[in-house]
Structures are given as C-alpha cells and as structure tokens.
Amino acid sequence: MDELKPIEHVYQSRVRTSVIRLFRWCGAWAATTALMAFGPRFLWSRGSGFTLLAVGLDVVVGIGVILANKHYLDELDELQRKVQLNAMAITLGVAVIAGVPFSVMAAYHIIPFHADIMYLLIVMSLTLAVSNLYGTWRYR
C-alpha cells in the first residue's frame, strides 16, 4: 500500500475559515443595515448627518461582504464552485422573472400591498438556499 501523508484537511479548514469570515461580514452588514433603517426613527432625528453616515457605513460593510463572498468562492474546489454557479444562475433568473411581474402588479394595484424590495430579497435568499441544497444533493 502506498502511504499518503497524514490527513491535514487543508482544503476543509481553508473553506471553513472563509465561511466564518463571510458570516462575520454578513452579520456586520445586517447590523449596519438595521442601524441605517431604524437609527433615524429611534436613535437620532430624521434627516441628520447621522443617517448619511449610517448609509456610508452600510455601503462600506456591504463591499466587505462582496469581497468576502468572492474570496469564499475562490477557495472552493471546482465541483463546489459549479454548484454555487448553478445556484446563483437560478437565483438571478428567479429574481428577474419574479421581480418584474411583481413590480408591474404592484404598479397596477393588482396585489393589495406595496412591492417592497425585501420581498425580492427573501425570494432570492430562499431560491439560493434551495438551489444550493439541490446541487449538493445531486452530486452527493
């Protein structure tokens, strides 16, 4: 039997590190988004410079999320990257295909509520999660 070097799990630990980093950036982004959304109502008066500051902070942390996500994708192996690419392609398609009619229906008052961007974000998050699970199951 040819001996392999002891298992170092280099790939797994590298991916785990990038996932933790991505989660931290996402947590920070959620916190700055909450600050931006609720700060003007509960923490300071509307229209003050603090709101602009909160928006700027949210954008900067958002860029951090994008870079952390890119770093995470770079760390994945080719199969995992393919699963992610498929999931992102499905998510983008669903966002466009569902988003445009939803917006049109809201404009013509066919649906009884405002077409808030949050609905689209929820649909995109769920689609990405389900597509990822399907991809993982398909190549398990």
121: closest CA among 62, 76, 51, 44? 62
Note whether 2 binds another protein by CB under 8 A: yes
Minimum CB separation of residue 98 from another protein in Å reads 30
Tokens matching residue 76: 């994945």
Residue from 34, 70, 82, 104 touching another protein (CB under 8 A): that is 82
Stretch that binds another protein, among 10-18, 47-55, 64-72, 125-133 (CB under 8 A): 10-18
Residue for token pair 């003050």: 48
Residue from 31, 79, 126, 129 touching another protein (CB under 8 A): that is 79
Q: How far apart are CA 138 and CA 63, in angstroms?
A: 32
| Choice between 6 and 47, CB closer to another protein | 6
Residue from 46, 78, 112, 117 touching another protein (CB under 8 A): that is 78
Helices (H), the chain: 10-42, 49-75, 78-107, 117-138
Q: How far apart are CA 13 and CA 32, in angstroms?
A: 29
- Chain residues binding another protein by CB under 8 A are 1-2, 4-5, 7-12, 15, 77-80, 82, 136, 138-140
